[in-house]
Structure 1
Amino acid sequence: MKQYEIEIKLFVKNLKQLIQDLKTLGFQKEVLKREEDVYFYSRHYDIKKRDEALRIRKSTNLMTNQIKTQLNFKGPKLDKISMSRKELEIEIENASIMEEILQNLDFEKAASVCKTRQYMRRNDITACIDQVENLGNFLELEILAESKDQKEKSLKRIEGILENLGYSMEDTTQKSYLSMLMNQEK
């Protein structure tokens, strides 16, 4: 069971060029999804202060219209440069009932993030090209790992891909889409 998501994120100016460059590097298109994330917070448990996230994600496969819903927990970031963190997720049958359970435990909806996500893959590396409503276009590169000991090696591999795409680790951000959207509202 892979629990650690070794990940970087960066803003992309030219989406078509990025997709072409990823194909040149051997990435192949997989599924195209519409993802709607609802994030939760609690007055009794400061998720933001702990640098954690709790969300319900509804994913719609835009090729088959199949819908999948998950409850996700993301732990604190593991370093000061990447989005790497422990992630736990479980498929749930009914998002409304899960929301009600969370609300009965004093969790409230914080905000929502909606995006269209093109998944591309090369071996164990996933490239997610995200078109995030009200934010723009982003690339996430991630490797799933069984332990955080694999983080440095995985980040080096990701850094090599970034360089081949004409980017560097300095171009990446540690801000979540949720944080970016909430900062826009202020």
Structure 2
Amino acid sequence: MSQYEVELKFPVANLAALRRQLIDRGARPLGIQQHRDTYYNHPCRDFAETHEALRIRRVDDQPMITYKGAKLDSPVKTRIELEWALGAGDVDGSNTEAMLVHLGFRRVAEVAKQRESFAVQPEAPSSELTVTLDDVQRVGTYAEIECIAEADGIGRAQEYVQAFAESLGLQNPEKRSYLRMLLQADG
């Protein structure tokens, strides 16, 4: 069964203040990681037009591959997400990268960020929320509130993500991906 990523992203001027607010609310720190995401475009369709994404993500140099499906029509970004770690046969992601290039995929850009994550226990029966504080090179500082949901729980997850963002005082959600923001900044 497919899982859906349900998320909102907000620009944040003061990550330290938001970090304190999360800790004061009982959020559990999950650590700080360095992410380096290399995005690819399909040889026969433009992911920018279909609102899909394919990337190799390196978390503290450990590679994984992610496919994100087209966004559902919703005020909260919601879409299928498939992600898995690359194993011992591809310890740095270079074999997967070479395969994608041989298949005609084109490298688009690389997004680098420092990500600090927190787990937030739900107040009602629902999936745990993850809040990340991101410092994205050449893009800025943002907070993402994310929940993973099965198809029958998307509505509840969307409501929960929105309510938690409001409770933190976060405003003006950013609908663009970090990749889109980076490409527009590099214009």
1:40 alignment counterpart: 40
8 Å contact 1:82–1:173 — kept in the other structure? no
By how many angstroms is 1:2 displaced?
6.2
Give 3-state SS (helix, strand or coil) of 1:31's partner. Answer: strand
CA distance in 2, matches of 1:57, 1:51: 18
Q: Which amino acid aligns with 1:129?
A: L
Any idea what the Cα deviations from partners look like across 1:137-163, whole Å, max 9, x if unmatched?
A: 10000111122x322211211222112
By how many angstroms is 1:119 displaced?
0.8
2:52 alignment counterpart: 52
Give 3-state SS (helix, strand or coil) of 1:102's partner. Answer: helix
8 Å contact 1:82–1:172 — kept in the other structure? no
1:131 alignment counterpart: 135
2:124 alignment counterpart: none
CA distance in 1, matches of 2:114, 2:170: 22
1:152 alignment counterpart: 155
Q: Which amino acid aligns with 1:71?
A: I
CA distance in 1, matches of 2:49, 2:33: 30
8 Å contact 1:8–1:84 — kept in the other structure? no
Normalised TM-score (structure 2):
0.89
Q: Which amino acid aligns with 2:53?
A: A
Q: Which amino acid aligns with 2:147?
A: I
CA 1:87 to 1:153, structure 2 compared with 1: closer, same or farther past 3 Å?
same
Q: Kindly indicate whether residue 89 of structure 2 is the aligned counterpart of residue 88 of structure 1.
A: no
8 Å contact 1:2–1:144 — kept in the other structure? no
Q: Kindly indicate whether residue 176 of structure 2 is the aligned counterpart of residue 175 of structure 1.
A: yes
Q: Which runs of 5+ in 1 are unaligned?
A: 61-66
Any idea what the Cα deviations from partners look like across 1:24-77, whole Å, max 9, x if unmatched?
A: 2221111210000000013312222111000000001xxxxxx42111000011
CA distance in 1, matches of 2:34, 2:11: 19
1:104 alignment counterpart: 102
Give 3-state SS (helix, strand or coil) of 1:161's partner. Answer: helix
Q: Which deviates further from its counterpart, 132-141 or 41-50?
A: 41-50
CA distance in 2, matches of 1:80, 1:144: 15
Displaced runs of 4 or more, over 4 A: none
Give 3-state SS (helix, strand or coil) of 2:44's partner. Answer: coil
1:64 alignment counterpart: none
8 Å contact 2:2–2:80 — kept in the other structure? no
Q: Which runs of 5+ in 2 are unaligned?
A: 122-127
Residue-pair matches, total: 177
Q: Kindly indicate whether residue 165 of structure 2 is the aligned counterpart of residue 162 of structure 1.
A: yes
By how many angstroms is 1:80 displaced?
4.0
Give 3-state SS (helix, strand or coil) of 1:115's partner. Answer: strand
By how many angstroms is 1:83 displaced?
2.1
